[in-house]
Amino acid sequence: MDTSFRKTSLISLQIGLLLLAVAVLFMYVPDLGKVQNEGMMLIALAVCISLFAGMRAGLFTTLLILFLFGSLYFWNMFFRPGDQTFLFSEATLFYYGLWLIGLVILSGSVYERINQLSQTNIALLEKVRRLVAIDDETGLDNADRFELELQLEIDRTNRHGESFTVLLYKIDHLADFKGLYGAEESTRFLTFFSERLHQSTRTTDKKFRLSTEEFALILPYASEENMEIILNRFRRMIGDYHISNGKTISFTNHIAHYTVTNKSGIESPADVLGLMRNELKSYAL
């Protein structure tokens, strides 16, 4: 927050300096004679380009303007000396160029500072989104938190040699259930399911909702030898579900699991998810 405040203060200071420079320019504006208005309009154009497209674009525009004025000045001086349109002094052209470059640099720095602040805010919002990672329908952690926690477990296992198991639980046709019976009934079922899930797991087990129908668990220290008992418990977890009108619904599910050890060669959450989703596809076939 302090960093953002300092950056905002710097932007305010730079904008203030830019406005002060514009005010001073109008007080001590170089006299371009018959093209005075055109000269001021070109300065305004360069400043606007620098404010909205960056300093590089503003300086490129400045180069074109100075080249244009310089070319017309020398053309007028050598070929049409009787025409007073572009006959102002070299000093006037020099001071005009200094004002033009100075204002473009000031406005370009404002653009750069605002762009940096915008990028910082986007990064902070992304960080908050990843930290506040709760699925609002079930109260479980979401897919972002799953990837974060899974990466931490993978790193811990690769360092210390302790194993853990990841379980992917898919409730078939859950999206269709919401379409058939409505959002309220779907929320009621998800509350029921999350309660059953908490009852069927240890407090150390980490539970996540990855998508509408997919749920995942990270089971620390769960050995492969005990997985059949755990899988049978999850297969029977929902059972027959009674909707609010008294009708009984039977949900089917598919479960895949993978035990990660330091010899598995697993480096990222994508590796584990790929293996388990392939396993779910083989069940479907």
Tens of pLDDT, residues 195-218 = 999 988 888 899 999 998 999 999
- 121 and 174 share one domain: no
pLDDT at 60: 92
Residue 136 lies in a domain: no
Tokens representing residue 34 in the block: 């018959």
pLDDT at 1: 45
Q: Which of 102, 131, 160 is the last residue of a domain?
A: 131
Phi-psi region of 139 (alpha: psi -120 to 50; beta: other; left: phi over 0): left
- 125 and 148 share one domain: no
CA-atom Rg of the chain in angstroms: 34
* CATH number for position 276: 3.30.70.270
- 58 and 149 share one domain: no
- 121 and 210 share one domain: no
pLDDT at 132: 65
Query: CB-based contacts of 10: which residues, under 8 Å, 6+ apart?
Result: 113
Query: CB-based contacts of 226: which residues, under 8 Å, 6+ apart?
Result: none
What one-letter code names the amino acid at 258? Y
- 84 and 152 share one domain: no
pTM above 0.75, yes or no: no
- 180 and 108 share one domain: no
Q: How far apart are CA 84 and CA 82, in angstroms?
A: 6
Q: How far apart are CA 97 and CA 92, in angstroms?
A: 9
- 185 and 238 share one domain: yes
Provide block-wise average pLDDT over 10 residues at a time, the chain (285 residues).
Answer: 57 71 70 76 87 87 86 74 65 81 85 83 74 78 89 90 89 90 91 90 91 92 79 85 88 89 87 88 64
Q: How far apart are CA 257 and CA 167, in angstroms?
A: 4
- 147 and 279 share one domain: yes
User: Which range marks the domain in which residue 122 is found?
Assistant: 2-131
Residue 83 lies in a domain: yes
pLDDT digits (tens, 9 = 90+) for 26-41: 667 677 777 777 878 8
- 61 and 110 share one domain: yes
Residue 125 lies in a domain: yes
Tokens representing residue 156 in the block: 């811990």
Q: What DSSP designation does 234 have?
A: H
- 183 and 105 share one domain: no
For the chain, the domain total comes to 2
- 51 and 167 share one domain: no
pLDDT at 210: 92
pLDDT at 188: 92
- 120 and 166 share one domain: no
